[in-house]
Structure formats: C-alpha cells, structure tokens
Amino acid sequence: MQGFIGDIAKATKRNADFRHVLYTGKHLQLVLMSLDPGEDIGEETHRDVDQFFRIEEGRGEVVIEGRKTRVEGDDAILVPAGAKHNIVNTGREPLRFYTIYGPPEHEDRTVHVTKRDAAKAKERFDGKTTEPAR
C-alpha cells in the first residue's frame, strides 16, 4: 500500500483546478478545490457521503441547511451525509481548500479545470482506487 503522504497545504495552495482528485481509497477520497471570486461549488446533497473541508487560502461562506457561516484560511467544515450545502468564494482572491469524501464520490484522478467542466462530466466513483489491485 502506498497511501498518500505529502504537504497538503502546499498542494492546495498551488492548485488552480476547480476539482482535482489526489487520492482515492476504498473508504475515503482526497480532493483539492479552487473557486474563483464569486464562484461556488453549487448547492448539493450527498445522501450517503460525509464530507470534510479545510480552507487553506481565501475567504468565503459555507451554507449548511440554509445556515450561512463565514470561513477563511485554517477553518474546517464537516458536512454530514444528507445535509444540503454549498461553499461560496466571497473574497477577491481564489478560495483554495481540500475536501475529504467518505466514501469516495468521484473517479480516481479526476481533474475538472473549471466548474463548467465538472457540470458536463457524468462521472461518479466507479470503485477503482489509487492503490494497485492485489
């Protein structure tokens, strides 16, 4: 097993892609995200997926079940399965963060450069992980 070992803060700050899947395990998935000023991830609900977010740079707002909370670098957010949520960049610079899905949500190594690319994609986690098959 190789797992993931790396400077997640540095990787997150360098990421300019809307979505960039770094690692997919059987039960968790690590994804880098970047939102341009005024952009949001899009309101969503994951019925069977808990989600953790860690803001590295920028300022924004998280909305969970209609409740708005300001967020900025070093803030963490936990969204339980079934909760309607969104993250919005309310700042003047990119909002850069990473998220951990449990269980995975996207195909391993997915990269969506823009939100528009992500909206066009029909991909979902297909059971294939970053780890080589044994």
At 27-48, the pLDDT tens digits run 999 999 999 999 999 999 999 9
pTM: 0.92
Q: Which residue has the tokens 């395990």?
A: 25
Q: Which residue has the tokens 């994804």?
A: 31
DSSP string across 66-93: TEEEEEETT-EEEE-TT--EEEEE-SSS
Domain 10-120 part of CATH 2.60.120.10: yes
Of 45-49, 60-64, 85-89, which range is least confident? 45-49
| DSSP 8-state secondary structure symbol assigned to residue 134 | -
pLDDT of res. 52: 97
* pLDDT band, very low/low/confident/very high, at 2 (cuts 50, 70, 90): confident
| Section 15-35 average pLDDT | 96
3-state secondary structure of 124: coil
Residues 6+ positions from 78 with CB-CB distance below 8 Å = 50, 51, 52, 53
H helix or E strand, kind and range, residue 63: strand 59-64
